[in-house]
Amino acid sequence: MAVVVRNERGQVAVGTGPLDPADVVRVARHGAGVRLTDEALAEIARSRAVVDALAADDRPHYGISTGFGALATRHIPVDRRARLQRSLVRSHAAGSGPEVEGEVVRALMLLRLSTLATGRTGVRPATARAYAALLSAGLTPVVREYGSLGCSGDLAPLAHVALALIGEGAVRDRDGRMLPAADALAAHGIEPVVLAEKEGLALVNGTDGMLGMLVLALADLRRLLTTADVAAAMSVESLMGTDAVFAADLHALRPHPGQADAAANLRALLAGSGVMASHRGPECTRVQDAYSLRCAPQVHGAARDTVAHATAVAGRELAAAIDNPVVTPDGRVESNGNFHGAPLGYVLDFLAIAAADVAGMSERRTDRFLDVARSHGLPPFLAGDAGVDSGHMIAQYTAAAVVAELKRLAVPASVDTIPSSAMQEDHVSMGWAAARKLRRAVDGLARVLAIEVLTAARALDLRAPLTPAPATGAVRDAVRAAGVPGPGEDRRLEPEIEAVVGLVGSGAVVAAAQSALAGHVLT
């Protein structure tokens, strides 16, 4: 089985093997182009010959000479089969609502192209080439929020992409301008595809949207969980907590790998802290910290292990060829149920639960800074002149509001099946809906962590002349360098929060902490 490689121009070459998740991110977020390998084109041609033979057969074959879904019993004569495929795409392009983000559409397109490249779908090489050309030209079809039930794949989203491929509907170019698909294709020298037997079905029948959103979310969550460790270290430090509970031998007693990684991060991040050293002596009466400080490795670690499980599921799906019917390697054309999104829907929901819980713990740490009964000597709400100033009081409100939303988003979508297609599709996955709410959950987690970092940075300043650890101090300095001043009288917090959200999202918070660590790589 071939693997995906990059050519000299930095494109992602799509072959018969699974895509690397990093390449999905490159194409989706960074506009990398694509090309089909010679091996993929040969395999596509081989399976197309099977479909062409069946197209000439008098017997009905699903997707080739029959209707679709509950209409599969209708035999379609040869002279109407081109119309059959075109009608499928037009009728299934029934999405509604706001536009889906361009990175999601590009991920969806790349993953559908990857399945086409396996040769299991029966499309023509020219159709696969045109699909690749659409991606490489930076033309992103307009896809709408609602329309997929996550069974028979992401039908409506994929149909909107297929619609652009045949020169209908709308696309956005690299500059974000919306154009009629026909005009955009012509401007880039791409001929609209006239669909042949089986091709319309092959273009719309996959789990590519929910898988694309899962791959992107996993990339984000890995960064955010490391950020959560950084934020927790800053909070433990500036709330005068103890780092004794992060000792390696204590965590070895409960051998969850994510927990061990989180505890190792916290130990490294707090090493060399003057704040921590100030209360290590026998006079310190702090025996146990609150759970939001003491149990950070357990919660962050459980989230890491959830990400690891979801990564394994995504890896298996990246190696899959999802279509119905499918052209098998030995030349059979068989109906199947591999398009059902349950494996993805479950882990998408699971990740939303983890994101909500990590955010909830972060918000509790933020809240401790603001209450004089729990902040160990910090001013009320970290205000410059408490009473005249409110400090970070309402920043905590914002974090709490986001956490409340994340709890609602943690309600699983994958258990909420609604039968469709005249009861032919009587159990669906809702995987697309699970993926959409996970995207909102990931964004919310980033915002809650940013508020904790912002608040902890102010608290570290208020602990002067005690000095922070090199790593936490580097993060505090990065916050200041981003244009967020230190403690003082009240000022607009919105731009400060958004500045730190940007640092969290770009990975700058983790990078700042890592720059001050000599012997430990944050994971």
Residue pLDDT, tens place only, 442-486: 999 999 999 999 999 999 999 999 999 999 999 999 999 999 999
Distance CA(62)–CA(403), nearest Å, equals 47
Give the pair of three-digit tokens for residue 244: 């004794």
Residues of the chain within CATH 1.10.275.10 domain(s) are 5-206
pLDDT digits over 219-255, tens only?
A: 999 999 999 999 999 999 999 999 999 999 999 999 9
Which pLDDT does position 66 carry in this prediction?
A: 67
pLDDT digits over 75-114, tens only?
A: 767 777 778 889 989 999 999 999 999 999 999 999 999 9
Give the pair of three-digit tokens for residue 520: 């430990």
Distance CA(122)–CA(104), nearest Å, equals 25
Which pLDDT does position 426 carry in this prediction?
A: 79
Which pLDDT does position 294 carry in this prediction?
A: 97
Distance CA(425)–CA(431), nearest Å, equals 15
What residues form DSSP beta bridges with 141?
Answer: 171
Report whether 228 contacts 456 (CB < 8 A). Answer: no
Which pLDDT does position 8 carry in this prediction?
A: 35
Distance CA(466)–CA(460), nearest Å, equals 8
**Please, which pLDDT band fits residue 418 given cuts at 50, 70 and 90?**
confident
**Does the pLDDT value for residue 1 go beyond 70?**
no
The least confident of 88-92, 175-179, 242-246, 286-290 is: 286-290
Q: Give the rounded percent of residues in the chain with a pLDDT score beyond 90.
A: 83
Q: What is the CATH architecture of 214-515?
A: Up-down Bundle (1.20)
**Please, which pLDDT band fits residue 151 given cuts at 50, 70 and 90?**
confident
**Does the pLDDT value for residue 53 go beyond 60?**
yes
What letter represents residue 395's amino acid? A
**Does the pLDDT value for residue 9 go beyond 50?**
no
Report whether 84 contacts 159 (CB < 8 A). Answer: no
CA angle 298, 304, 307 (to 5 degrees): 145
**Please, which pLDDT band fits residue 3 given cuts at 50, 70 and 90?**
very low
Which pLDDT does position 505 carry in this prediction?
A: 98
Nearest residue to 396 (alpha-carbon basis) of 456, 329, 316: 456
Please state, rounded to an integer, the average pLDDT across all residues of the chain.
93
What residues form DSSP beta bridges with 5?
Answer: 13
pTM: 0.95
**Does the pLDDT value for residue 6 go beyond 60?**
no
**Does the pLDDT value for residue 4 go beyond 60?**
no
Report whether 89 contacts 204 (CB < 8 A). Answer: yes
CATH 3.30.565.10 is right for the domain spanning 5-206: no
State which H helix or E strand residue 180 sits in.
Answer: strand 178-180
Nearest residue to 207 (alpha-carbon basis) of 342, 347, 26, 29: 342
Distance CA(511)–CA(519), nearest Å, equals 15
Strands 34-36 and 333-334: unpaired
Overall average pLDDT of the 31-43 stretch: 98
Q: Is the dihedral of CA 438, 444, 447, 449 positive or negative?
A: negative
Give the pair of three-digit tokens for residue 195: 């669909």
Helix (H, G, I), strand (E, B) or coil at 141: strand
Residues of the chain within CATH 1.20.200.10 domain(s) are 214-515
Q: Give the rounded percent of residues in the chain with a pLDDT score beyond 70.
A: 94
Distance CA(50)–CA(381), nearest Å, equals 71
Q: How far is CA 274 from CA 240, 282, 509, in A?
A: 11, 16, 21
b/e map 373-405, b = 16+ CB within 10 Å: eebbebbbbbbeeeeebbbbbebbebbbebbeb
252 burial type by CB count under 10 A (0-12 exposed, 13-18 middle, 19+ buried):
exposed
What residues form DSSP beta bridges with 425?
Answer: 420
Distance CA(108)–CA(444), nearest Å, equals 23
Catalytic residue positions, numbered: 62
DSSP 291-315: HHHHTHHHHHHHHHHHHHHHHHHHH
